[in-house]
Amino acid sequence: MKRPSTAAARTVNVTSDKYQRILDAAIEVIANHGFFHSRVSEIAERAGVADGTIYLYFKNKDELLMAAIDSAFHRFIARARAALQEISDPREKLRRIAFLQLEALGTQRSLAIVFQTELRHSAKFLSEFSHNMMVEYFDLIKSVLKEGQEAGVFRAELSVTVAAHCFFGAIDEIVTTWILYDRELERDYHLSSLADPIVDILLKGIETGSKHGH
């Protein structure tokens, strides 16, 4: 198949409904078949576009996957930043971040599968994601932890980097475990309901002895 030129690719509208349909279709197809077994033709069919249309936006399937992850992640970050503007207590900010991450993945199983499994099968994908997006997320978590330290809510000697990784790691492991469950169990299993228990456990390790949240 002859692909459109780079010049043509620059003229497409990445905010169009068609573009978003392609991203959503990519997530669904890759979640169902795995990245290496997914075909561009399948993604195009699910998105309701011609095969060649995919190449107006993306050079290859690798670029498509990263764009789909990038889009979903930035929607999450934007929502998290907006939500934190309305919260003053650092402890409640951590609860909100945890809830939003679990809710985002818990309500989009295909996205959770791609994020937790397909993305991590490739060192290249994981490296690109870590450098381009995870840094921003960790900076957000660390800013909340530093805010808590300055307010005397979290221990002053705490390493915010280590704490941020513990925070993310706990949520990440919960999501991985969730996607491995049998589908029949998902009906009564709300991932976001685990936000408070996770944060409660972490807070016992980072709060000062005189100030406890819940």
Domain that holds residue 2: 1-59
**Three-state SS string across the chain, please?**
CCCCCHHHHCCCCCCCHHHHHHHHHHHHHHHHHCCCCCCHHHHHHHHCCCHHHHHHHCCCHHHHHHHHHHHHHHHHHHHHHHHHCCCCCHHHHHHHHHHHHHHHHHCCHHHHHHHHHHHHHCHHHHHHHHHHHHHHHHHHHHHHHHHHHHCCCECCCCCHHHHHHHHHHHHHHHHHHHHHCCHHHHCCCCHHHHHHHHHHHHHHHHECCCCCCC
pLDDT of residue 129: 66
Which residues, in sequence order, are CB contacts of 48 under 8 Å at separation 6+?
Answer: 21
pLDDT of residue 145: 97
Residues 39 and 86 in one domain: no
Exposure letters 14-32 (e unless 16+ CB within 10 A, then b): eeeeebebbbbbbbbbbbe
Query: Is 212 contained in some domain?
Result: no
* Average pLDDT for 180-207: 76
Residues 3 and 75 in one domain: no
Residue 127: is its pLDDT beyond 60? yes
Residues 70 and 175 in one domain: yes
pLDDT of residue 188: 54
* Average pLDDT for 82-92: 96
pLDDT of residue 210: 52
* Average pLDDT for 15-33: 92
pLDDT of residue 2: 40
* Average pLDDT for 73-85: 94
* Average pLDDT for 74-90: 95
Query: How many domains does the chain contain in total?
Result: 2
Q: CB-based burial of residue 57 (10 Å sphere; 0-12 exposed, 13-18 middle, 19+ buried)?
A: buried
pLDDT of residue 115: 87
Residues 79 and 50 in one domain: no
Mean pLDDT of the chain: 84
Query: Is 152 contained in some domain?
Result: yes
Question: What's this model's pTM, rounded to 2 decimal places?
Answer: 0.81
Query: Is 99 contained in some domain?
Result: yes
